């Protein structure tokens, strides 16, 4: 399954925050890298609005953390932009689309959080919406990542979070390497590596991640 994806050309993950590639997509990205994918990341904000790690030059710290994590995950190139963290949904869609289009550089697949934004964060939804628009415009494949409804419900009940469940036609569970994901997560020291919601989500998800791949237009 993932091997088929790899043969189509480079894959570009379009993310809102430095750590989304690890906390969210770490399992999927490392599985793709092992399968031989040419992986790139476009991160739209520097994560400067996080309440964790405030008081230092957080944008710089998070850039370095992202580079280290991306390298572990097998990502060959990272574009980190400085749209407002927490404000992506207020950026003109055309402005987001322009940078996603620029970052493609021959990408055949766009990798995104599924449309609910997974955690419900408006930045996640805005990043995904832009990537999906560009995929439609350019006729590219989309790989969406999300969590099963049972996982979302358990997290929301235990932590009062707002996770959306990912289900429906074409959704599948693929086996992933959590060890590599945990190593990448550990690179994001400023973002509380002992994040209980994250730890519980990965525990509930077990050895699989939930994805849906939408074929490119002919």
Give residues in contact with Zn ion (CB under 5 A): 16-17, 20
Which backbone phi and psi does 115 adopt, to 5 degrees?
A: -60, -25
User: CB-wise, 75 or 108, nearer to Zn ion?
Assistant: 75
Q: Could you tell me the smallest distance in angstroms from the CB atom of residue 23 to Zn ion?
A: 7
The Cα-based distances of 175 to 74, 196, 206, 207 in angstroms read 17, 23, 9, 6
Q: Which residue is nearest to Zn ion (CB)?
A: 17
Strand 75-83 and strand 11-15: the pairing is unpaired
The Cα-based distances of 94 to 108, 131, 176 in angstroms read 21, 11, 34
User: CB-wise, 108 or 113, nearer to Zn ion?
Assistant: 113
Tokens of 101: 């289009």
Q: Could you tell me the smallest distance in angstroms from the CB atom of residue 186 to Zn ion?
A: 17
Using CA atoms, how far apart are residues 80 and 86, in angstroms rounded to an integer? 15
User: CB-wise, 21 or 38, nearer to Zn ion?
Assistant: 21
Q: Could you tell me the smallest distance in angstroms from the CB atom of residue 24 to Zn ion?
A: 7
Q: Could you tell me the smallest distance in angstroms from the CB atom of residue 36 to Zn ion?
A: 27
Tokens of 148: 């099963």
Q: Could you tell me the smallest distance in angstroms from the CB atom of residue 152 to Zn ion?
A: 16
Using CA atoms, how far apart are residues 66 and 146, in angstroms rounded to an integer? 21
Angle formed at CA 181 by CA 179 and CA 182, multiple of 5 degrees: 65
Of 169, 193, 171, give the one whose Cα is nearest residue 181. Answer: 193
User: CB-wise, 17 or 178, nearer to Zn ion?
Assistant: 17
Place of tokens 């957080």: 58
Q: Could you tell me the smallest distance in angstroms from the CB atom of residue 47 to Zn ion?
A: 8
């Amino acid at each position: 399954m993932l091997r088929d994806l790899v043969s189509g050309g480079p894959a570009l993950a379009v993310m809102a925050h430095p750590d989304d590639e690890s906390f969210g997509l770490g399992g999927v990205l490392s599985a793709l890298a092992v399968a031989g994918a040419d992986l790139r990341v476009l991160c739209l904000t520097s994560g400067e609005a996080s309440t964790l790690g405030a008081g230092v030059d957080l944008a710089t710290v998070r850039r370095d953390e992202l580079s280290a994590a991306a390298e572990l995950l097998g990502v060959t190139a990272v574009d980190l932009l400085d749209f407002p963290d927490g404000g992506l949904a207020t950026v003109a869609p055309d402005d987001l689309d322009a940078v996603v289009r620029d970052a493609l550089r021959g990408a055949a697949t766009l990798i995104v959080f599924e449309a609910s934004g997974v955690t419900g964060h408006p930045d996640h939804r805005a990043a995904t919406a832009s990537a999906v628009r560009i995929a439609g415009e350019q006729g590219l494949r989309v790989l969406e990542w999300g969590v099963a409804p049972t996982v979302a419900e358990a997290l929301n009940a235990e932590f009062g979070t707002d996770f959306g469940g990912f289900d429906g036609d074409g959704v599948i569970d693929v086996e992933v390497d959590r060890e590599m994901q945990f190593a990448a997560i550990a690179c994001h020291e400023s973002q509380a590596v002992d994040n209980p919601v994250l730890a519980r989500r990965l525990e509930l998800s077990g050895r699989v991640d939930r994805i849906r791949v939408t074929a490119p237009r002919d």
